Amino acid sequence: MNINFIVEDFGAFKYLGCATAAKNLYKSLSKKVDIKWNEKSTNFDIAHFHTFGPKSLLYARKFRGKKIITAHSTPNLNRGNVAFLPLVNLFYRPIYKKFDHIISVSNKCKREIIKEMKIKVDVKTIYNGIDTKKFKPDMKKRNRFRETIGAKKNDIVVLTVAQRTPRKGIYDFLELAKKNSQLKFLWIGEFPYKFFSKDYFKISKIIKNKGNNTVFPGFIKDIREAYSAADVFFMPSYAEGHSIVMLESLSMGLPMIARDNEEFREAFGDNLIYFKNVNQIDESFFDKKLLRAFKKKADIVKKYDIEKISNEHIRFYEDVLAN
């Protein structure tokens, strides 16, 4: 069994969760199976796609083996995320139906692919994974990054890692920061699609007039510095597939306040502090006793360790080739 990973990881794509998820999986699989990354040759048993663009679709046309795509993105996940939504979403169904098999990253995404997009090919749910040994808190990184963002020793730092778009909940993040001047709010992430991002100009203007307790450093080289510096992770996103940053933050031992979404309940059960509307969030959500209790629940992430997830993929590849 030999496999070619097809990932358009240049430009905007390299900052997206789909590229990170693909790299995590590739690194683990490379220890176990014969696998390549973006090889031009079509002499493989399986081509596993993680993004689709001109380069990958051209390869898909030439490839004659089994073609699998992981549906990191679906039309519902583009709402509130990209401009020109109807045009962008036109591409999904004709592209996805060309593949022999689709891997969805949640059962919610699987339902969308089958029932809403009406794709007839085989769809299997396999969640994303991370290297849980890599994402561990570091006191030196904590102190260094907190100093960089002007956080004092006793400040509670609330962290979000995401694109700066409405779907990711940036308006709720800014509203919460405005109402809680005693807390330090940190948003890591940029506009990977630039002005093709939803509300690009509006959000850019609001960020320029943000409060003093809110920091937007953009992209940073080592995301573990931000996780180490934080005391709680805030996930206001309205929709996700299976969020890599949620896995990373839980692996770092951070308690998490998250919107009460179906996909979060599916992946993490009752191990997060949920809210339905940002106006529900008051000082009690940041009570130190509550945060300590949910910090202990962060080990739910162990079920998504990349070694387990890569083994699931290998079993799936074997089934695909056997049938």
Q: What are the domain boundaries of the chain?
A: 2-129+305-322, 139-303
282 has pLDDT over 60: yes
Predicted local distance difference test score (pLDDT) of residue 88: 72
Percent of the chain at pLDDT > 70 equals 97
77 has pLDDT over 90: no
> What count of Cα atoms within 13 Å lies in the side-chain half-sphere of residue 210?
24
Predicted local distance difference test score (pLDDT) of residue 121: 93
> What count of Cα atoms within 13 Å lies in the side-chain half-sphere of residue 118?
0
- In this prediction, residues 33-37 reach a mean pLDDT of 96
- In this prediction, residues 175-198 reach a mean pLDDT of 91
Predicted local distance difference test score (pLDDT) of residue 299: 95
User: Among 12-16, 203-207, 298-302, which stretch is predicted with the lowest mean pLDDT?
Assistant: 12-16
12 has pLDDT over 60: no
Predicted local distance difference test score (pLDDT) of residue 147: 95
CATH number, span 2-129+305-322? 3.40.50.2000
Beta bridge partners of 71: 104
161 has pLDDT over 90: yes
- In this prediction, residues 262-289 reach a mean pLDDT of 96
Query: Which stretches of 121-222 are DSSP H helices?
Result: 139-149, 170-179, 200-208
Which CATH entry fits the domain spanning 139-303: 3.50.50.60, 3.40.50.2000, 3.40.50.2300, 1.10.630.10?
Answer: 3.40.50.2000
The answer to whether residues 203 and 189 touch, using CB atoms and an 8 Å cutoff, is no
Predicted local distance difference test score (pLDDT) of residue 8: 85
Give the other-Cβ count within 10 Å of 195's Cβ.
9
AA letter at 108: K
Predicted local distance difference test score (pLDDT) of residue 102: 97
**93-145 pLDDT, tens digit each:** 999 999 999 999 999 999 999 999 999 999 999 999 999 999 999 999 999 99
16 has pLDDT over 90: no
Q: 67 by DSSP, 3-state: which?
A: strand
- In this prediction, residues 86-99 reach a mean pLDDT of 85
313 has pLDDT over 90: yes
User: What is the C-alpha to C-alpha distance for residues 9 and 52, in angstroms, rounded to an integer?
Assistant: 10
- In this prediction, residues 33-49 reach a mean pLDDT of 96
Predicted local distance difference test score (pLDDT) of residue 222: 95
**What number of H helices and E strands is found in the chain?**
14, 12
Residues 6+ apart with CB under 8 A from 323: none
User: What is the C-alpha to C-alpha distance for residues 230 and 142, in angstroms, rounded to an integer?
Assistant: 8
Predicted local distance difference test score (pLDDT) of residue 32: 97
pLDDT band at 13 (very low <50, low <70, confident <90, very high): low
Percent of the chain at pLDDT > 90 equals 82
User: What is the C-alpha to C-alpha distance for residues 120 and 170, in angstroms, rounded to an integer?
Assistant: 36
User: What is the C-alpha to C-alpha distance for residues 78 and 166, in angstroms, rounded to an integer?
Assistant: 10
If you average pLDDT over every residue of the chain, what do you get? 93
Query: Which stretches of the chain are DSSP H helices?
Result: 17-29, 54-62, 75-78, 85-89, 92-96, 107-111, 139-149, 170-179, 200-208, 223-229, 244-251, 262-268, 288-295, 306-322
AA letter at 214: T
- In this prediction, residues 65-81 reach a mean pLDDT of 88
Dihedrals φ, ψ of 221, to 5°? -65, -45
- In this prediction, residues 244-263 reach a mean pLDDT of 98
187 has pLDDT over 70: yes
Predicted local distance difference test score (pLDDT) of residue 54: 84
Same fold? 2-129+305-322, 139-303: yes
51 has pLDDT over 90: no
